[in-house]
């Protein structure tokens, strides 16, 4: 059996693009360093900037011949402080009134960009400002005004975020800005659209209803209330993000690690790609090396079974965007080469692949084929698994079991080719020309040999659906000799 060349990293990297990384030369360097998905944060990006970034990123990917997913991240109903004339210092015990936007704020009153604040909160509720650096306690609620007492003091500035832990926020899932940004996502043919501050599966469906068929919804878990509806949210989503920034503000900090593990495991079980985000290599915004704690944090996310890790400010505004991706790639390579994810068995036994999954868009036949594929790959010591896929479903199911060998996915869809760039262990290949079993196997064979993933005579486990042109018909497993 082939030992292959240097293995391709299985855990993928999502990079937020901003002023530090949007030039074509930097985008190319990021691709070469290991970037798999471009994230465009619409909270800080105009429509014209988004169009330019996507054009330049796709040009780089085409030149390098690599799959590169495009993720448009909607701002969502983020609650913030309004415009302040100057920074305001708050001391413990101070009385501060929060005023709905559109109502004139007086002395010792702070404007808030959320009209329904007074409708949603009650006496005793906590209001956290600037990622929890300042904590307020609600003492009195009146129309358009909420009187609070400062529990933890600090200085607040215009635009700082507000979190309402434990409060059922009545804001709509999508704002007017989100609707405008959805149109941009449609125009540029984004691969994923991320929905922020999701509180229920209904919000996921509201976004899906506005997207063309095939464009995927990535749900960000960053509200404590989302955890109450987690199973339904996962069933409704094409991918999820453990957004530890706001989630870590809404939850007690000591609960974040186990919550992260819970979300990753639940997503794996439902064949839903999962991304761990926020402060992965935060120190590299200013310094050329990550801290030991950051390296351990990234390593743990990889060992937990995340499909991808996301870099935010590190690549958007940091001083060392390319070095950051190179550093993260080194960590991934080390953990996958020496860690338990590359043992000669999946992290999850194939018995974990159920005969059917309630609410999932997968037939019992697809699940049965995926289970048989994993068993066969182990039995014949296959150096790789190959899937012929129209939608990417089977590749995601097989990869979610974390097999010890790569999953090469052959597809005739450019969009699916790019979307699979997010999925753990998947090597996407786009099929040029007619997509038949014979042409796709020849494409797979050629790439397996070129990439050092197999040698002539090796046995490869292959899955496909016949007829290939019909989505969701995976019904065949075959052991093919290279």
Q: Output the average pLDDT for the chain.
A: 90
The residue that leads in pLDDT, 190 or 337, is 190
* Choice among 83-97, 144-158, 301-315, 394-408 with the minimum mean pLDDT: 394-408
Tell me the CATH class for 79-163.
mainly beta
Those residues whose C-beta lies under 8 Å from the C-beta of residue 170, and which sit 6 or more positions away, are 116, 119, 120
Q: How confident is the model at residue 12 (pLDDT cuts 50, 70, 90)?
A: very high
Which listed residue (12, 126, 220, 402) is catalytic? 220
Q: What per-residue confidence (pLDDT) applies to 124? A: 95
Is residue 278 part of the annotated active site? The answer reads yes
Mean pLDDT within 121-130: 95
The residue that leads in pLDDT, 327 or 340, is 327
**To which H or E segment does residue 260 belong?**
helix 256-269
pLDDT of residue 3 exceeding 60, the answer is no
Q: What per-residue confidence (pLDDT) applies to 364? A: 67
Q: What per-residue confidence (pLDDT) applies to 374? A: 87
Q: How confident is the model at residue 51 (pLDDT cuts 50, 70, 90)?
A: very high
Is residue 78 part of the annotated active site? The answer reads no
Which listed residue (51, 52, 58, 80) is catalytic? 80
Condensed to tens digits (0 to 9), the pLDDT of residues 467-477 reads 666 665 677 88
Report how far apart, in Å, the C-alpha atoms of 69 and of each of 57, 96, 179, 402 are: 9, 45, 21, 21
Q: What per-residue confidence (pLDDT) applies to 403? A: 87
Q: What per-residue confidence (pLDDT) applies to 231? A: 93
Q: What per-residue confidence (pLDDT) applies to 468? A: 67
Do the first three CATH levels of 12-76+173-338 and 350-481 match, i.e. the same topology? no
CATH number of 350-481: 3.40.1380.20
What are the sequence ranges of the domains in the chain?
Answer: 12-76+173-338, 79-163, 350-481
Tell me the CATH class for 12-76+173-338.
alpha beta
The share of the chain scoring above pLDDT 90, in percent, equals: 73
CA 231 – CA 282 distance, rounded (Å): 30
Mean pLDDT within 298-308: 94
Is residue 387 part of the annotated active site? The answer reads no
Mean pLDDT within 134-151: 96
Based on DSSP, count helices (H) and strands (E) in the chain, helices before strands: 15, 22
CA 136 – CA 128 distance, rounded (Å): 6
Condensed to tens digits (0 to 9), the pLDDT of residues 391-443 reads 898 899 889 888 889 999 999 999 999 999 999 999 999 998 888 888 999 99
Condensed to tens digits (0 to 9), the pLDDT of residues 198-254 reads 999 999 999 999 999 999 999 999 988 899 999 999 999 999 999 998 898 889 999
Q: How confident is the model at residue 131 (pLDDT cuts 50, 70, 90)?
A: confident
pLDDT of residue 340 exceeding 90, the answer is no
The pair phi, psi for residue 300, each rounded to 5°, is -65, -40
Mean pLDDT within 11-23: 98
Q: How confident is the model at residue 47 (pLDDT cuts 50, 70, 90)?
A: very high
- Closest of 47, 77, 327 to residue 190, by C-alpha: 47
Q: What per-residue confidence (pLDDT) applies to 346? A: 40
Mean pLDDT within 65-79: 95
Tokens of 74: 């909607």
Which listed residue (10, 12, 28, 39) is catalytic? 39
- Closest of 391, 390, 399, 386 to residue 353, by C-alpha: 399
Q: Tokens 């999946």 identify what position?
A: 346
Q: What per-residue confidence (pLDDT) applies to 6? A: 53
- Closest of 271, 263, 179 to residue 226, by C-alpha: 263
Q: What per-residue confidence (pLDDT) applies to 1? A: 45
Q: What per-residue confidence (pLDDT) applies to 471? A: 62
Which listed residue (278, 306, 394, 463) is catalytic? 278
* Choice among 127-136, 183-192, 335-344, 415-424 with the minimum mean pLDDT: 335-344
The residue that leads in pLDDT, 137 or 106, is 137
pLDDT of residue 275 exceeding 50, the answer is yes
The residue that leads in pLDDT, 131 or 26, is 26
Condensed to tens digits (0 to 9), the pLDDT of residues 52-62 reads 999 999 999 99
**429-449 burial: b if 16+ Cβ within 10 Å, else e:** bbbeeebeeeebbebbbebbe
Is residue 83 part of the annotated active site? The answer reads no
């Amino acid at each position: 059996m082939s030992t292959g060349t240097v293995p391709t990293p299985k855990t993928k990297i999502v990079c937020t693009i901003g002023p530090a990384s949007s030039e074509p030369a930097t985008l190319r360097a990021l691709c070469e360093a290991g970037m798999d998905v471009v994230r465009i944060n619409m909270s800080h990006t105009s429509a014209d900037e988004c169009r330019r970034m996507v054009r330049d990123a796709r040009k780089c990917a085409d030149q390098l011949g690599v799959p590169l997913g495009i993720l448009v991240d909607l701002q969502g109903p983020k609650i913030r402080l309004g415009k302040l004339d100057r920074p305001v210092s708050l001391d413990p015990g101070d009385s501060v009134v929060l005023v709905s936007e559109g109502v004139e704020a007086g002395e010792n009153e702070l404007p808030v960009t959320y009209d329904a604040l007074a409708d949603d909160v009650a006496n005793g509720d906590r209001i956290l400002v600037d990622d929890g650096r300042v904590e307020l306690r609600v003492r009195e609620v009146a129309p358009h005004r909420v009187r609070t007492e400062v529990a933890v003091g600090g200085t607040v500035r215009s635009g700082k975020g507000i979190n309402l832990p434990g409060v059922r926020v009545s804001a709509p899932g999508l704002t007017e800005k989100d609707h405008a940004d959805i149109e941009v996502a449609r125009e540029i043919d984004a691969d994923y659209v991320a929905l922020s501050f999701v509180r229920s599966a209904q919000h996921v469906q509201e976004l899906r209803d506005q997207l063309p068929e095939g464009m995927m919804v990535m749900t960000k878990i960053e509200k404590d209330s989302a955890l109450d509806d987690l199973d339904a949210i996962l069933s409704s989503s094409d991918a999820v993000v453990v957004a530890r920034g706001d989630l870590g503000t809404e939850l007690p900090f000591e609960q974040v690690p186990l919550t992260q593990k819970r979300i990753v495991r639940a997503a794996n079980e439902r064949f839903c790609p999962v991304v761990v985000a926020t402060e992965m290599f935060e120190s590299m915004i200013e310094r050329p090396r990550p801290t030991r704690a950051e390296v351990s944090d990234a390593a743990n996310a990889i060992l937990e079974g995340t499909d991808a890790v996301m870099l935010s400010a590190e690549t958007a505004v940091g001083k060392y965007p390319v070095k950051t991706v190179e550093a993260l790639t080194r960590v991934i390579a080390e953990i996958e080469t020496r860690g338990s994810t590359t043992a000669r068995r999946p992290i999850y036994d194939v018995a974990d692949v159920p005969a059917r999954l309630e609410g999932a868009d997968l037939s019992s036949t697809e699940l049965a084929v995926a289970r048989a594929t994993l068993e066969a790959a182990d039995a014949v010591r296959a150096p790789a698994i190959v899937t012929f896929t129209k939608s990417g479903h089977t590749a995601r199911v097989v990869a979610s079991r974390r097999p010890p060998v790569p999953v090469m996915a052959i597809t005739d869809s450019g969009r699916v080719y790019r979307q699979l760039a997010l999925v753990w262990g998947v090597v996407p290949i786009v099929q040029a020309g007619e997509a038949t079993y014979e042409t796709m196997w020849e494409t797979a064979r050629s790439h397996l040999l070129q990439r050092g993933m197999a040698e002539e005579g090796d046995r490869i486990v292959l899955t496909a659906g016949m007829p290939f042109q019909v989505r969701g018909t995976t019904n065949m497993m075959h052991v093919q000799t290279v």
